[in-house]
Amino acid sequence: MTAAPSAVESTQTGVAGLDDLAGLVADGDVLVLSGAGLSTDSGIPDYRGATGSLRRHTPMTWQTFRRDPRGRHRYWARSYVGWPQIAAARPNAGHSAVARLQRAGLLGGVITQNVDGLHQAAGARDVVELHGGLDRTVCLACGDVAGRAPLHRRLRAANPGFGPHADEVNPDGDAELPDDVLDGFVMVDCTACGAGPLKPDVVFFGETVPRDRVDTCFGMLEDAGSLLVLGSSLTVMSGYRFVLRAAELGIPVALVNLGPTRGDAKADVRVDAPLGAVLPELARRCGA
């Protein structure tokens, strides 16, 4: 009886692929691409992952938000209820490990598909928010960009006692409430132009990531020694294209995710394990 090589490796390292991952990251010039799986330990559910089928409604699309005033109104009502949970979320051990690896000089920039600001809260620098951030709004009429916190204070004043509280909040900040409750919500206008409508400064499903932002990310990738994907199943092309480009350029790709990803066939290193366990151990091995 002879153990399969993968079983031997797994026994020696604890987690299959971790030795190869540590070797790649120790070479430096790593570009991180992170997804929802990195934030699940912070209490922000991964709605594309294993629990995605528990969702009771589909995510807001750009087409609905733009064209359907009632759909937009309901989005803001759900988002109002869900915002305190998003605002209260704190970085987890995975975010902290990424920030430590960066301080140790091993990581260049971070591209994140997450809209929760938790990389920055953990101390990471040079973070490109590929899909924007929930901590600010943009006015679709005048283009004014404003903070989400003051908007929440205005909404709270306009909606005393609005509820009930949600038991589930999605990464785009919306929460579950019946339509008749949502329709009773009072939305406020843009403070800059008095009109609006306001949109969270995030890229909705069906919306295109701004071209200059994509170009910035491709530039970061071209300067990188390797691409490290953390907590993304790479379902969406907006993230997957960086894996495809890395493969074209001959830049090694490492994937850390719980479960399979669309990029598995393109990966040089693959670690299938919880990020909250892998990333602190990775940082430790790299002396970060």
CA distance 47 to 55: 7
Identify which range of 20-28, 185-193, 238-246, 260-268 contacts Zn ion by CB under 5 A.
185-193
Q: Work out which of 81, 190, 203, 255 binds Zn ion, going by CB under 5 A.
A: 190
When asked if residue 192 is in the footprint of Zn ion (CB under 5 A), the reply is yes
Which residues are known to be catalytic? 131
What torsion do the CA atoms of 146, 190, 197, 210 make, to the nearest 10 degrees? -30
159 closest CA partner among 69, 74, 83, 77: 77
CA distance 242 to 227: 8
When asked if residue 144 is in the footprint of Zn ion (CB under 5 A), the reply is yes
CA distance 174 to 131: 16
17 annotated as belonging to a binding site for a ligand:
no
Number of residues engaging Zn ion in binding (CB under 5 A): 7
When asked if residue 193 is in the footprint of Zn ion (CB under 5 A), the reply is yes
When asked if residue 142 is in the footprint of Zn ion (CB under 5 A), the reply is yes
When asked if residue 87 is in the footprint of Zn ion (CB under 5 A), the reply is no
Q: Work out which of 139, 243, 246, 286 binds Zn ion, going by CB under 5 A.
A: 139
Six token digits for residue 70: 């009632």
Burial, 248: exposed, middle or buried (Cβ in 10 Å; 0-12, 13-18, 19+)?
exposed
When asked if residue 141 is in the footprint of Zn ion (CB under 5 A), the reply is yes
- Residues annotated as binding site for NAD(+)? 35-55, 113-116, 231-233, 257-259, 275
Q: Catalog residues that contact Zn ion under the rule CB under 5 A.
A: 139, 141-142, 144, 190, 192-193
